[in-house]
């Protein structure tokens, strides 16, 4: 996720902005840059790679803006790093978020003679501001906003003005209040060293900071009342935005991930009649849900292969097949090897990747980026949701249908509101040594994902099975000492799973059911029930994963495990 900092005061801006960017590094980024202003001139230094690379030099001035970039549009490179300037080097902009209509705006600006220096969506903002400027920077920004579609926060500096303008629409931005100095930042970690007094901007608000003060307006230019809040967090708490762990923060970011994912449109270069999905871990389980979605919606056959197995097979590829690699990091060694195997055999490859310009993203024939933003917790949560969202989009695209689900993000928010209930359940069940997870159809991969989450962060043994497999062996494990998490949401196989729960109960097993609201019947055969809102069968996986993540999280937290960095595991598995 990109990071922003802006400073205007009595100190040298460059070292201060640099330190602010270092505090934003935890968000993940691939390039960084700073622009300062002195003697009516803008000075810029921006580079691909670490913030540390910017320490080799300094720029003059007591005002400036800085940015860490997590690529979305345009690969990581010096030229795509922020800040961006207009042709006359009078305006400078740093931007977080996505400008959805940038291609259209770019085309229009090009026709008017504007030359672009990057491949980003962000650069259109600075050229529009330069065009709209008639002596009032804030007004030029407000006029520019009228042309922008998407979610964004950005800050603007002008060479000869003692002010910085910041706006918020869908991406966070805070104002830090100092003494004879003020700040703008995408999160409080960047300013906490200098001030604990902050204003959290709301969407559709525009802040103007000067050395002396702050003025906040609506996007219509009307003055806005604001509250200055005192932040009591330390730096580490601020980076987690008050959440105890990154994993919990990332679980709560999922509604936003849904909204961001739905903003992107998808198109494919290749045609194929069969899809082979290759992936590892959570990404493999996303692939299993993808199989269900693509076969149900687009009627295209899909096989899903664990990459570490697939790479050592002698697959019988045939023309008209496409290999789809799913990976958050884009660096997983086995998934990469599976891609290379397909390429050697002349088979087309597609990547569904979260980290822009990662190795797999560069090696596949075509890449679709998921919109999870950086995931810091080793346990994958929001990346899984972003992978599912993109697989829905792919399934609908292949079927030639529109994918415009209503209220999905709000339904996820409703599930997140069950957190306290799930925490109580974690308290009740954390001392068990073994768990079973069961589900059928699209809920089976969710059972696998729920069991993986519990294993990897709480070190409790958990096994997942298709509910119909119980009688073929795992039923022997059922006892009072082995609770079962049963995914029994109302779908076409509901009654079958319901019967499996009865079989478990008849053998003295405890059952935590994940069920659909108003299903009173299930309460009578389960020890505990987590009720989810009613949604179309196709969308059940998106909702059902959240209680599984929260249950694993709270159990691990109660057991005082290192939730974000579980033992023996790495975030990116770059070796076999
Ligand atoms: O970066 P990738 O998506 O390729 O990673 C694949 C797995 O290593 C990853 O999903 C792993 O299973 C997670 N720790 C699960 O939470």
Q: Is the CB of 484 under 6 A from ligand 1?
A: no
Q: Is the CB of 456 under 6 A from ligand 1?
A: yes
pLDDT, residue 296, reads 97
CA-closest residue to ligand 1 atom 14: 379
pLDDT, residue 237, reads 79
> Which residue among 287, 290, 328, 354 has the greatest number of ligand 1 atoms within 8 angstroms of its CB, and so is best to mutate?
328
* CA 392–ligand 1 middle distance (angstroms): 20
Q: Does domain 239-404 have CATH number 2.40.50.140?
A: no
Q: Is the CB of 308 under 6 A from ligand 1?
A: no
pLDDT, residue 373, reads 86
pLDDT, residue 574, reads 79
Chain segment 107-160, per-residue pLDDT in tens: 999 999 999 999 999 999 999 999 999 999 999 999 999 999 988 999 999 999
Told to judge if 35 belongs to the known catalytic residues of this protein, a careful annotator would answer no
The structural domains of the chain, with segments of one domain joined by +, span 3-236, 239-404, 417-576
Ligand 1 atom index nearest CA of 569: 14
Closest CA to 571 of 385, 383, 349, 390: 383
- Where does 3-236 sit in CATH, by number? 3.60.20.10
Q: Do domains 239-404 and 417-576 have the same CATH topology?
A: yes
At the second CATH level, the architecture of 417-576 is: 3-Layer(aba) Sandwich (3.40)
CA-closest residue to ligand 1 atom 12: 281
Q: Is the CB of 332 under 6 A from ligand 1?
A: yes
pLDDT, residue 223, reads 97
CB 67 within 8 A of CB 2: yes
What single string gives the DSSP state of each residue in 398-437?
A: HTT-----SSHHHHHHHHHTTHHHHHHHHHHHTT-SEEEE
Chain segment 416-440, per-residue pLDDT in tens: 999 999 999 999 999 999 999 999 9
Query: How far apart (Å, rounded) are the C-alpha atoms in residues 487 and 436?
Result: 11
* CA 280–ligand 1 middle distance (angstroms): 6
DSSP state of 242: T
> Which residue among 380, 382, 445 has the greatest number of ligand 1 atoms within 8 angstroms of its CB, and so is best to mutate?
380
Low-confidence ranges of the chain (pLDDT < 70): 1
Ligand 1 atom index nearest CA of 328: 3
Chain segment 250-278, per-residue pLDDT in tens: 999 999 999 999 988 899 988 999 999 99
Within 100-196, where are the H helices? 102-111, 123-132, 137-145
Told to judge if 46 belongs to the known catalytic residues of this protein, a careful annotator would answer no
pLDDT, residue 317, reads 86
pTM: 0.83
CB 118 within 8 A of CB 48: no
Helix (H) or strand (E) holding 448: helix 443-458
pLDDT, residue 500, reads 97
Within 232-381, where are the H helices? 235-239, 246-252, 254-263, 281-293, 307-310, 333-344, 359-363
> Which residue among 284, 361, 571, 573 has the greatest number of ligand 1 atoms within 8 angstroms of its CB, and so is best to mutate?
573
Ligand 1 atom index nearest CA of 383: 3
CA-closest residue to ligand 1 atom 7: 281
Query: How far apart (Å, rounded) are the C-alpha atoms in residues 386 and 231?
Result: 31
Query: How far apart (Å, rounded) are the C-alpha atoms in residues 324 and 326?
Result: 6
CA distances from 43 to 53, 211, 248 (A): 16, 20, 39
Q: Is the CB of 283 under 6 A from ligand 1?
A: yes
* CA 380–ligand 1 middle distance (angstroms): 6
């Amino acid at each position: 996720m990109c990071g922003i900092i802006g400073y205007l005061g009595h100190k040298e801006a460059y070292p201060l902005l640099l330190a602010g960017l270092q505090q934003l590094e935890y968000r993940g980024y691939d390039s960084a840059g700073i622009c300062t202003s002195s003697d009516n001139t803008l000075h810029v230094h921006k580079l691909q790679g670490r913030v540390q690379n910017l320490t080799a030099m300094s720029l003059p001035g007591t005002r400036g803006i800085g940015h860490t970039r997590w690529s979305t549009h345009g690969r990581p490179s010096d030229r795509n790093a922020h800040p961006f300037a207009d042709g006359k080097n009078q305006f400078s902009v740093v931007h977080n978020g996505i400008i959805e209509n940038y291609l259209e705006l770019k085309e229009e600006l090009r026709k008017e003679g504007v030359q672009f220096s990057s491949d980003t969506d962000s650069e259109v903002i600075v050229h529009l501001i330069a065009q709209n400027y008639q002596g009032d920077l804030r007004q030029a920004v407000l006029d520019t906003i009228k042309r922008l579609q998407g979610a964004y926060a950005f800050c603007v500096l002008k060479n000869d003005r003692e002010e910085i303008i910041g706006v918020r629409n869908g991406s966070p931005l805070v104002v830090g209040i100092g003494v004879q100095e003020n700040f703008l930042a995408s999160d409080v970690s960047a300013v906490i060293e200098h001030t604990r007094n902050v204003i959290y901007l709301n969407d559709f608000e525009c802040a103007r900071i000067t050395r002396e003060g702050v003025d906040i307006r609506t996007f219509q230019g009307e003055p806005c009342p604001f509250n200055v809040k005192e932040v009591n967090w330390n730096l580490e708490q601020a980076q987690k935005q008050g959440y105890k762990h990154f994993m919990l923060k990332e679980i709560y970011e999922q509604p936003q991930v849904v909204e961001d994912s739905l903003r992107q449109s998808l198109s494919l270069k290749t045609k194929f009649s069969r899809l082979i999905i290759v992936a590892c871990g959570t990404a493999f389980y996303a692939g299993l849900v993808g199989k269900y979605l693509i076969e149900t919606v687009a009627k295209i056959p899909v096989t899903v292969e664990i990459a570490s197995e697939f790479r050592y097979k002698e697959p019988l590829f045939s023309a008209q097949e496409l290999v789809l690699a799913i990976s958050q990091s884009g660096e997983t060694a086995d998934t990469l090897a599976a891609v290379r195997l397909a390429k050697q055999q002349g088979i087309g490859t597609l990547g569904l990747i979260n980290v822009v310009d990662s190795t797999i993203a560069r090696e596949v024939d075509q890449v679709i980026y998921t919109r999870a933003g950086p995931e810091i917790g080793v346990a994958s949560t929001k990346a899984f949701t972003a992978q599912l969202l993109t697989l829905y989009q792919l399934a609908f695209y292949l079927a030639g249908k529109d994918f415009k689900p209503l209220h999905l993000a709000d339904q996820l928010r409703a599930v997140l509101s069950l957190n306290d209930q799930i925490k109580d359940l974690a308290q009740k069940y954390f001392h068990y040594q073994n768990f079973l997870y069961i589900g059928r159809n699209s809920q089976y991969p969710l059972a696998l994902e729920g069991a993986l989450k519990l294993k990897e962060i709480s070190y409790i043994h958990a096994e997942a099975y298709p509910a119909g497999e119980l009688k073929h062996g795992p039923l022997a494990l059922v006892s009072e000492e082995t609770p079962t998490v049963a995914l029994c949401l109302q779908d076409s196989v509901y009654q079958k799973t319901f019967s499996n729960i009865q079989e478990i109960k008849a053998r003295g097993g405890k059952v935590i059911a994940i069920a659909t609201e108003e299903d009173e019947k299930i309460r009578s055969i389960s020890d505990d029930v987590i009720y989810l809102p009613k949604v179309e069968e196709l969308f059940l996986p998106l909702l059902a994963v959240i209680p599984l993540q929260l249950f694993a999280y709270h159990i691990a937290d109660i057991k005082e495990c290192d939730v974000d960095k579980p033992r023996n595991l790495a975030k990116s598995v770059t070796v076999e």
